[in-house]
Structure 1
Amino acid sequence: MNTQTNPAPQFYLTAPAACPYLPHEMERKVFTHLVGERAPELNDLLTQGGFRRSQNIAYRPACETCRACVSVRILVDQFKPSRSMRRVLAANADVTGHEYPAEPSSEQYSLFRHYLDHRHQKGGMSDMSILDYAMMVEDTHVNTRVIEYRLRAEGSGIEERPSGELVAVALTDRMADGLSMVYSFFDTDRERRSLGTFMILDHVRRAKAMGLPHVYLGYWVKGSRKMDYKTKFLPQEHLMSRGWERYDGESSD
């Protein structure tokens, strides 16, 4: 009889590096590989424990002097859009979202490149090539999907791949207890549409339709202005030292 068990995942620690969110802070990460048949199950457990996925790596902050990064997830069944969020939904009534396997395209990369050039010129992803982008999308051993958001083309009907203009893309993992938004990007020239907010609202709708209780948004960093938007989707839970705790922050309305 074969009594051999699957090996436990091995965890590693990165060297200190400058924090991309808070000045004068240094970051370290603990990470492991997500490969093989157990990858989906392991991804679920690690995400629930505060990890994030990038390609076939799961990581979380392990900084020595800072605990500013807090994992955030929206409570789908209790979520109520604010007035400003309802305006975003109305402004994007002509946008349709379609879900596909995790396969890249040159059209996606063109929008991704435009997004980086306008929003993240000095970020760690700023020099990503089309091959790097393809790896970001394809290198996954879990249930990952690409959701393309397009303007509804005039006169278009039911098509396998709609032909309207691509305005936003989300790379999303489906887990046992929710949807995890791994990465998303959008047309920065359409600022009035608030497409980033719209994609989160659409993920809440999708999760609810699937009977999934959470939408995972990654890390919120208090003191980082570019992360403030994550705490507007209420109610939500934050992963603290004692586990997931409900957060009912003040609405911006």
Structure 2
Amino acid sequence: MRIGIIGTGHIGGTIARKLKAVGHDIRVANSRGVQSVRSFAAEIGATAVDVSGAVRDVDAIIVAIPLPAMALLPKELFDSVPADVPIVDTSNYYPGMRDESIPEIEDGMPESVWVSKQLGRPVIKAFNNILAYSLAELGRPEGAPDRLAVAVGGDNPTSKQIVIALVNDAGFDPVDSGSLEDSWRQQPATPAYCCDYGIEMMRKGLAAAVKGMASGKRGRMAELFAQLGPDPSHADIVKMNRSLNPLA
């Protein structure tokens, strides 16, 4: 597949590297222009492009930038993208940790519904409920007993199946989390968020989520994360996330 990826940070860069390694044609871009991604693109064998090039003549688009930055992308960016090309949103909302308050989300709008409104296109929510370290280091072949799971939410069945296949290609078991309106089940501070769960526990975590409860736990998540210090271990972050929403 021809895949355009906007964002080359911990998540976008890792997805680009993994999908290139299994044979996909990867184009990478970020907000700073072509020159800023040339070195990374050469390193992994991808093509460096600007954001317009990342959405032109591709089979899937992955937008891996901070959630507030979604509103700063060019308004016409996706106008010529065919309706059958899935646009993947990997972002999360971190008020009090990184992001300014967004009233619509504070009032209960699912984060990816807000993103969809900023982009003017439906999106598929994926790769947001796995830690960057886990994404980079803990992928496993299909069928491996210790394979971790990644939730995939969205409304278009065909687009969702394409993204489910990409999650599998990246080394993780995809779990259908429902509609985009239901994607709050995989947002930060929910039972399915960044806990390094396999497929059965991921399903259990998604089912255990209670609407509106995560917003009340976000402050606690920020507090616990601060207590971990400036360089927390991967194991400590997983333990912290599991402690917010214990699953039997």
Bigger relative contact order, structure 1 or 2 (CA pairs below 8 A, ≥6 apart): 1
Bigger Rg, structure 1 or 2: 1
TM-score surpassing 0.5?
A: no
TM-score bin, normalised by smaller chain: under 0.3
Which structure has greater helix proportion? 2
TM-score with structure 1 setting the length: 0.23
